[in-house]
Amino acid sequence: MEFEQEVTTGNEHADGDEEEREETAGMDVGRKEKGRRGEKELETRRAKERFLEAHRMGVSVVDAARLAGVERRTVYRWRDKDPEFAKAWREAREGMVEDLEMEAYKRAFKGNDRLLMFLLKSYKPVTYNQRQQQAKNGQQQAESRGDKDKALAELVERVREWQ
């Protein structure tokens, strides 16, 4: 079967063809709307990816949103309405925190005693945090405090030897 194409100049249609042109024009508008919606969704997906990548690298929410080309409140709206985005945001934040922890460890092991103490207190609060220890066990005796200080000093010395 052969396909025949009718070539017209626009005014050559019969009265019935005018309705067909209007229906076709309506379909074109629908396709354009669908196309714009698809472009908007693609743009949003790319902005979400840019935000997540920047935040994963340690950029604040405000600055990551700015880098993604959106406002801060927009990313919070995405988080509230899109469970997948909320999950990806949590994972990006966890990755950032892990990177921060690794940097803290490196600095603590290179001789930053204050940072080392902070890490020890956060990971073993009962052993290294005197206030928490006092709240749990009542008033701490000076003798046991001296033992803890001595144990901590020994631990700091061992860490320095690892370098």
pLDDT tens per residue, range 36-82? 888 889 999 999 999 999 999 989 999 999 999 999 999 999 999 99
Residue 19 is predicted with a pLDDT of 52
Q: Model confidence at 30, in pLDDT bands (50, 70, 90)?
A: low
Mean pLDDT of 81-107: 91
Query: What would the two tokens of residue 62 be?
Result: 């405000």
Residue 126 lies in a domain: yes
Residue 5 is predicted with a pLDDT of 38
Residue 20 lies in a domain: no
116 in the same domain as 153: yes
Number of domains in the chain: 2
Give the tens place of pLDDT for each residue, 7-25.
344 444 445 555 555 555 5
115 in the same domain as 76: no
Backbone Cα Rg of the chain: 32
Give the tens place of pLDDT for each residue, 120-162.
888 777 777 766 556 555 554 545 556 667 777 777 777 666 6
Residue 5 lies in a domain: no
Residue 12 lies in a domain: no
Helices (H), the chain: 15-56, 61-68, 72-81, 83-109, 113-123, 125-128, 130-137, 142-162
Residue 42 is predicted with a pLDDT of 92
Residue 125 is predicted with a pLDDT of 78
In Å, how far are 74, 77, 89 from 85, measured between CA atoms?
12, 10, 6
CB 85 within 8 A of CB 120: no
Residue 3 lies in a domain: no
Give the structural domain span for 153.
110-163
156 in the same domain as 128: yes
Residue 104 lies in a domain: no
Residue 17 lies in a domain: no
Residue 13 lies in a domain: no
In Å, how far are 52, 75, 122, 131, 133 from 126, measured between CA atoms?
36, 39, 9, 9, 5
